[in-house]
Homo-oligomer: A and B are copies of this chain.
Amino acid sequence: MSETTNLHPGLSVDCVIFGFHENELKVLMLKMKQMDKWALPGGFVNIKEDVDKEAINILQRRTGLKDIFLHQFHLFGNVSRNNQAYVDKLVKKGVIEPDMKEWFQQRFITVGYYALVEFANVQEPTPDNISDKCEWLPLTELPDLILDHSEIIHKAHQTLKTQLIYQPIGINLLPEKFTMPELQALYETLLEKELDRRNFRRKMLAYDILIQTDERRKGGAHKAPILYKFDKDKYHQAIEKGLKSGW
């Protein structure tokens, strides 16, 4: 794609794709070619395409997933986020073709989206044309990132934590059926704090968005926990109405 005339000038989209695995929150990242730096999956916006749609496209190209929860959370529009030296470097290293140099030298703003995906559903994370790896990295120990991508991830995580106050979460981050301890582990990871097992169950059940199945997760070395699934109607209603009225 050395053709940039169809792209919205100075505009990019970056996706913070969260996955949950082994009680750790992970982020899907791309390793830049020729550099020891990582970047968020992102891309540009076709003039004839909705910005939201391009975010969906990016998510799909990197993960193969469709119909995923994707939420626009912020526009990063500071002048300081642009870096000419960085573009020069990329051209010199051959990561960017010379005829694309002018495009990359524009002042860019980027729209941040975050997605929640079920870790196991992503079969093969796929690098794009400026990266050579696409991997899940733990949120807590991220390597050097390009530009302001650290800040973007941080803001995504903060937004997610705040949304947890008044919205349910779990669909897309957990498998179809899951146990109460698994759901709790998700919340504890997102919130970065421990919760009381019994109070968590009580409160979560009070939300009335779970359906108890008659199955249990076998194979663990201990008491087999009950499997639950989300009542999708009530779940989405809860997102609309909000869990807390507050007032």
Contact = CB atoms under 8 A, between A and B. Distances in A.
Copies of this chain, count: 2
Contact of A242 (B10, B72, B74, B162): B162
Q: How large is the interface on A (under 10, 10 to 19, 20 to 34, 35 or more residues)?
A: 20 to 34
Contact of A244 (B74, B193, B244): B244
Contact of A10 (B11, B48, B72, B244): B11
Contacts of A246: 164-166, 244
Taking chain A's interface residues, is the majority helix, strand, or loop, or is none over half, making it mixed? Answer: mixed
Contacts of A48: 79, 107
Interface stretch (A49-57, A116-124, A211-219, A230-238): A49-57
Given A8-B10, A10-B9, A191-B247, A111 B77 contact: yes
Interface string A111-135: 1000000000000000000000000
A163 to B, nearest CB: 9
Interface in A1-23: 8-11
Interface of A: 8-11, 45, 47-52, 72, 74-75, 77-80, 107, 109, 111, 162, 164-166, 187, 191, 193, 195, 242, 244-247
